[in-house]
Amino acid sequence: MKILHITAAYKPAFIYGGPTMSVAMLCEELAGAGIESRVFTTTANGKTELPVATDTPVNIDGVPVRYFKRLTKDHTHFSPALLNAVWEHARDFDIIHIHAWWNLVSVLACGIALGRKVPVVVSPRGMLSSYTFGSRNMGAKSIIHKLMGKRYLDKSHIHTTSAHESRAVEKLLQPLSVTELPNFVKLDELRPEYTQPAESVFKLLFFSRIEEKKGLDILINALKTIDVPYHLTIAGTGDDAYINHLKTLAADVAGNITWAGFYGDDKFELLQQHHLLVLPSHDENFGNVVVESLSVGTAVLISENVGLAGYVLSENLGWVCQTNTASVSDAINNIAQNQHQQLAQIRQTAPGRVREHFTGTALAIRYIEFYRTILQK
């Protein structure tokens, strides 16, 4: 079986966060399971370009990756060279798997692959929901969707990463199939259980890209009505203007906040050193950081709009709130004052639990069976 993965950005373009890592992990796990996986991507790295070869495939952790130059330096990622390569090589593959949406690589490559009569899988990566249609560039998205997007997607198989995302997709589309499979999540080695220092400050962590969708403004406002001593660490980067807006919003509680900036592979130590990860997102198809946090034993408080909310509740690994200040504040107060035993239990049991569910051969086999089912159809 030969799978071509098409994505506008691939590692080491870590600036794009969790989706980039999720695609890479999938490709690496498939390669390790004996499935021939290749990647077509662009040199996108935010507003700059990756310093990589573009004239030949590059082996990235066991996966052959072909980088193509892009003409636009924004989220459209227009790359005629990549699209031409898709046209030339589409029929060399059994399935073409397209990751993300709302960029010219994904949308146009999907149309080309369908035109070449190759089965297509689209992983929207959270980009097909009512929230995304109501966010920025709503007009352009609606036009693309009506002109070609919906037609392409209805002829494709959709891969979602959570029940939350499946419901969102099914409200918008009538694709050939919708299949839910969780992300692979890259985790650190299993660490010794961390013992929090005997101190009275409740340590909160927000770890994500800093953008409106993530609900950081809700968390900052919630801090103003928390009844226990606390400290919030904010780890992540984003648009400078929006970060400055949030810092102004947080002026009254600035002494209780550390803006830590970007963290890379050292993030697991930071995650482990806090009592609670808080992610009050307005829309989140999965939430890799939820698994990363639980992998080191740190409990989570996430909004009901995070794809892993159902998993967190069913596995008793944290708490779920609504996307408003009162709900977040009430939850933090309750956890800090009344849930010490539950926090300790999560610290013991969560690391093994998430490794069983989001890593390893068993999950790779589920993806392979998914591809095989498509080919049988």
Is the separation of the CB atoms in 269 and 233 below 8 Å? no
Coil, helix or strand at residue 349? helix
Beta bridge partners of 341: none
- Average per-residue pLDDT in the chain? 93
In whole angstroms, what is the distance from residue 49 CA to residue 70 CA? 9
Q: Rounded to an integer, what is the distance from CA 280 to the centroid of its chain?
A: 15
pLDDT digits (tens, 9 = 90+) for 215-263: 999 999 999 999 999 999 999 999 999 999 999 999 999 999 999 998 8
Tokens of 127: 């980009």
Pair 149, 122: CB distance under 8 Å: no
pLDDT per position as a tens digit, 83-129: 999 999 999 999 999 999 989 999 999 999 999 999 999 999 888 88
Geometric angle at alpha carbon 367, from 14 and 67, rounded to 5°: 35
The CATH H-level superfamily of 202-357 is Glycogen Phosphorylase B; (3.40.50.2000)
Tell me what pLDDT residue 228 has. Answer: 94
Between CA 37 and CA 33 the distance in angstroms is: 10
Check whether 369 has a pLDDT greater than 90. yes
- Using CA atoms, how far residue 166 sits from 4, 109, 119, 135, in Å, is 23, 23, 20, 19
Q: Is the pLDDT of residue 55 over 90?
A: no
Which H or E run includes 202?
strand 202-207
Helix or strand holding residue 365 (H, E): helix 361-376
Cα 176 to Cα 51, 150, 329, 367: the distances in Å are: 38, 12, 42, 17
Which secondary-structure segment (H or E) carries 246? Answer: helix 240-249
Two structure tokens written together for 80 = 């005629």
Which sequence spans correspond to the domains of the chain? 2-184+360-376, 202-357
Residue 207 confidence class, pLDDT cut points 50, 70, 90: very high
Question: How confident is the model over 141-200, as pLDDT tens digits?
Answer: 777 787 788 999 999 999 999 999 999 999 989 999 999 999 999 898 888 888 777 678
DSSP codes, 139-165? HHHHHHIIIIIHHHHHTSEEEESSHHH
Tell me how far apart the alpha carbons of residues 363 and 358 are, in angstroms, rounded to a whole number: 7
Enter the tokens of residue 214. 């993530």
Asked if 171 and 191 count as a contact pair (C-beta separation under 8 A), the reply is: no
User: What's the CATH code, domain 2-184+360-376?
Assistant: 3.40.50.2000
User: Is-contact 242 211, C-beta < 8 A?
Assistant: yes
Q: What is the pLDDT of residue 135?
A: 64
Percent of the chain with pLDDT over 70: 97
Cα distance between residue 166 and residue 179, in whole Å: 8
- One-letter amino acid at 221 equals N
In order of 196, 268, 336, the CA distances from 201 in angstroms are: 11, 20, 9
Domains 2-184+360-376 and 202-357 share a fold: yes
Length of the chain: 377
Q: How far is CA 82 from CA 72, 109, 154, 177, in A?
A: 13, 8, 23, 27
Tokens 């089965």, located at residue: 119
